[in-house]
């Protein structure tokens, strides 16, 4: 009975290891691929890739974005700062 349970346990462990696929992050394009893509793509679909260190991490991370997305984020960030100035949240060093 013990051998049967042990063999079933071993078979289930092996089956679970064989069935799991690790889905990593997609591969980001190289600098040469970005240049080539931007040369053939319409201007509204151009991309930019850069490496930065995220807050709270020491490891640099490469990120790629469409230029239109970056411009939209830039506008949103400025809107947030403008609203904070209107509310007076930037006048006090403690935010109140």
Q: What would the two tokens of residue 8 be? A: 């079933």
Residue 17 lies in a domain: no
Residue 50 lies in a domain: yes
Residue 2 lies in a domain: no
For 66, the domain range is: 27-90
34 φ, ψ to 5°? -65, -45
Residue 10 lies in a domain: no
Residue 70 lies in a domain: yes
pTM above 0.75, yes or no: no
Residue 37 lies in a domain: yes
Q: What is the pLDDT of residues 12-60, one digit of tens each?
A: 655 665 544 556 778 889 999 999 999 999 998 999 999 989 888 899 9
Residue 5 lies in a domain: no
Q: Count how many domains the chain has.
A: 1
Q: What is the pLDDT of residues 60-96, one digit of tens each?
A: 999 899 998 888 887 787 888 888 778 776 666 665 5
Task: Give me the pLDDT at residue 74, please.
Answer: 78
Category of 28 on φ-ψ map: left (φ > 0), alpha (ψ -120 to 50) or beta: beta
Residue 6 lies in a domain: no
């Amino acid at each position: 009975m013990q051998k049967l349970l042990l063999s079933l346990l071993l078979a289930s462990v092996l089956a679970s290891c064989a069935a799991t696929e690790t889905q990593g992050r997609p591969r980001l394009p190289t600098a040469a691929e970005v240049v080539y893509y931007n040369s053939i793509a319409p201007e509204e679909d151009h991309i930019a890739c850069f490496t930065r260190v995220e807050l709270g991490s020491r490891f640099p991370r490469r990120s790629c974005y469409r230029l239109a997305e970056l411009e939209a984020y830039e506008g949103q960030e400025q809107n947030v700062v403008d609203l904070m100035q209107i509310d007076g949240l930037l006048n006090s060093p403690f935010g109140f």
